[in-house]
Chains A and B, each alone.
Chain A
Amino acid sequence: MSLKLHLKPHEKIILGGAVIKCGNNPVNFFVENNSVAILRQKDIMTEAGATTPARRVYFVLQLMYIDNDSNNSKFFERFEGLEQEMITAAPSSRRYFVEIRDCITSGGLYRALKTARELIDYEEQLVEQANIRLPIKLPQVSGLTEAGSP
């Protein structure tokens, strides 16, 4: 089954280890073999972007997917460490982890990533809910100076 892809101008995509960038005109194309890692720009998380527990989970799964190495124990271990921490903090996130693990086990890493995306949304909801119920005034930061600046 081929996969239809649409790229906007200057949009990047990971395609089986290559990074492809669209030129000035939008492009439609088909990927005939779906067995390689395909990730759109909007789905790619950099390490700097992995700032919350759920985002870290996504990041590790993304590495597994790009490396195309779902049997690698170093990824497993890191994933499990993050999973344990998150389940302890938020037991209700377990159902996402169960699904993610199912996907990993059956080799559907792309589906695992999609579920991890849902986990990120869920985490946002939980944190937001806690914030709405308990409004907090953030200290003003504008008056502080950065280290190294005059």
Chain B
Amino acid sequence: MAINDISLTSGMRNNLLSLQNTTTLINRTQTRLSTGKSVNTALDNPTNFFAAQTATARATDLSNRKDGMSEAVQMVSAANAGITGITSLIESAQGVAQAALATTSVTDRASYETTFNTLMTQITELASDSGYRGTNFLNSQNQTVEFAPATGGATLQIQGFDATATGLGLSTAGTGSGSIDWADSTTGTAGIQSSATQLENALNTLRSQSSTLSANLSVVTSRQTFTDNMVSTLQTGADNLTLADTNQEGANLLMLQTRQSLGITSLSLASQAAQAVLKLF
């Protein structure tokens, strides 16, 4: 042990060295700055000055995209509220079918039919009312969301589906054509059971469509955040750009490097697959 009693791991020593290194550098930079040398102004660096201007203009373009994204979020929210409502209507209809099964009276079953049909009508009305600004995902309408500054550069197509009673494959109850007869003395029970099956299928459809919508929603919201920050990247520091002192920047970067290497956050956020791939290099 020639130097001292505390032995350092090589990683620690490297950090320590660059820390000492950086401190010296920063001190000298500060000294040079305080003497007023080599500070750029907008006048002697027109390139940076105009880069800053362009950045501000591009921020405006992106703000328009942000509007489109929040509209899409509203549309998905409206559809989602509709799905929640329709789900509870279907659950009520399931209750009606259960009650109809529990009785054998033809008169009672006929009155349950009426209640059931009212619920079917409400489902269709609710589906038609779930639009936002003319786009209704529950009436099979689609919406294309634009993310990139250039039109068509990056888009997400959100697909709607038909959530009306007919679209969900629900037949009305009764004797008309295409209806299922609950009140028939011989085939009534079988009819109610097939209605119950239709209701279950409709619920499954709603669940899977709802999860597709929420996947789309999370894409849009994460893009929204990204675009928000893009705008602030463009806007903030436009002044800094015109006043950048590259010598100080070099020193700052060294300091940042040291700080990052002392941090314990691992950079690896890759999937198992990507990690396995990178291990081979």
Contact = CB atoms under 8 A, between A and B. Distances in A.
B229 interface: yes
A51 B261 contact: yes
A86 B256 contact: yes
Interface of A: prevailing SS: helix
A146 to B, nearest CB: 6
Interface stretch (A1-9, A26-34, A137-145): A137-145
Nearest 5 A/B pairs, CB to CB: A130-B250, A91-B240, A89-B252, A90-B249, A106-B153
Given A14-B277, A86-B253, A127-B254, 6 more contacts: A46-B278, A73-B225, A89-B253, A95-B51, A131-B25, A145-B7
B35 to A, nearest CB: 13
A144 B8 contact: yes
Contacts of B58: 98
21 contacts: A17-B277, A44-B278, A46-B281, A47-B266, A51-B257, A60-B269, A63-B270, A69-B271, A73-B225, A75-B269, A80-B226, A87-B233, A105-B227, A131-B250, A133-B247, A134-B25, A134-B29, A134-B247, A139-B20, A147-B7, A147-B9
Interface string A41-66: 10010110011110010011001001
A83 B233 CA distance: 9
A143 B25 CA distance: 24
Contact of B153 (A86, A105, A133): A105
A14 to B, nearest CB: 6
Nearest to B51: A95
Contact of A76 (B48, B225, B260, B266): B225
B99 interface: no
Contacts of A90: 244, 249-250, 252-253
B25 A136 contact: yes
B2 interface: yes
B10 interface: yes
A44 B278 CA distance: 8
B17 interface: yes
Contacts of B3: 143-145
A88 B260 CA distance: 14
Interface in B211-236: 218-219, 222-223, 225-227, 229-230, 233-234
A136 B250 contact: no
Nearest to B38: A133
B264 interface: no
B280 to A, nearest CB: 5
Contacts of B249: 89-93, 126, 130
Contact of B226 (A53, A104, A146): A104
